[in-house]
Amino acid sequence: MKQVFYFSPHQDDEVTNFGAAICADIEQGHEVFCVLCTDGGASCARELLASQSVCAWHSGSHAIDLTREAFSAARDREFKASCLALGLKPENILISPLRAPDSGCSADAAQQIILDATDGFAPEQTVIKTIFPTPWQRQNPDHAAIAQAAGALFAKRRFAGLEYYYEMILLPAPDDVALQKIVPSPEGKKRLLLAADAYGLWEPEHGRYAVGYHSVYDEFQAYVREPCAWLVKTMI
Ligand SMILES: [Zn+2]
Ligand SMILES: [Zn+2]
């Protein structure tokens, strides 16, 4: 048994980019942690929710004007519900006290987040996992920074292992990047669909505004058609 730490740049990456791998690691008996690295406050969904427009896929109009802090807290609720649905223990769902503002995570800040989360765990039994860096194509800057930080720390032998996952929305990968498709077990698939549902829950009275669906609806639609993850087999 080992500790596995997933570093999720934003609320939703843990399901759309790592979900199938998280379920598989839990099924294999590993102690799995998920660390949220930014506040998710820059999503376009915040403006949309305040726009007074009417939405096609849930009852209710958008008249929800949230401060950045309240919006971020709403996203955190979606993240925690998603992680619980994936099967993570509540105490292993971590929002980094050092988290960066959305779109403002530097590689240095990401290194501090990774070291802070894994502090006290035996390096030889600790594996870190995050999104694969793709400098040849446009990638979210937080994704790129955390990927770079994980690579730099692993190169210094700070951890027993590093695994990268290819971003779903950046597929297909170029020919020289070998991928292994992580297909969930039947039980895992149920968990993945429940986790995705956490991002579509519209219950304003409970502070749930389906922020995930409002920000990347098409991505979630594609994901729930075939929930899986893409492990990168090519080491860089
Ligand atoms: Zn992200
Ligand atoms: Zn809506």
pLDDT score for 234: 81
CA of 171 to the centre of ligand 1 (A): 15
**Nearest bound ligand to the CA of residue 165:** 1
> Quick check: 14 and 8 in contact, CB under 8 A?
yes
| Residues 8-62: tens digit of each pLDDT | 999 999 999 999 999 999 999 999 999 999 999 999 999 999 998 888 877 778 8
For residue 172, whether the previous peptide bond is cis, meaning omega lies within 30 degrees of 0, is yes
| Residues 81-120: tens digit of each pLDDT | 999 999 999 999 999 999 999 999 999 999 999 999 999 9
**Confidence check: pLDDT of 178 > 60:** yes
What CATH number does the domain containing 51 carry?
3.40.50.10320
Average pLDDT over the chain reads 95
**Confidence check: pLDDT of 225 > 60:** yes
pLDDT score for 235: 61
pLDDT score for 1: 67
CA of 131 to the centre of ligand 1 (A): 9
How many domains in the chain?
Answer: 1
Domain around 74: 3-232
Q: In the numeric block, which tokens belong to residue 150?
A: 């994980």
> Quick check: 17 and 81 in contact, CB under 8 A?
no
pLDDT score for 194: 98
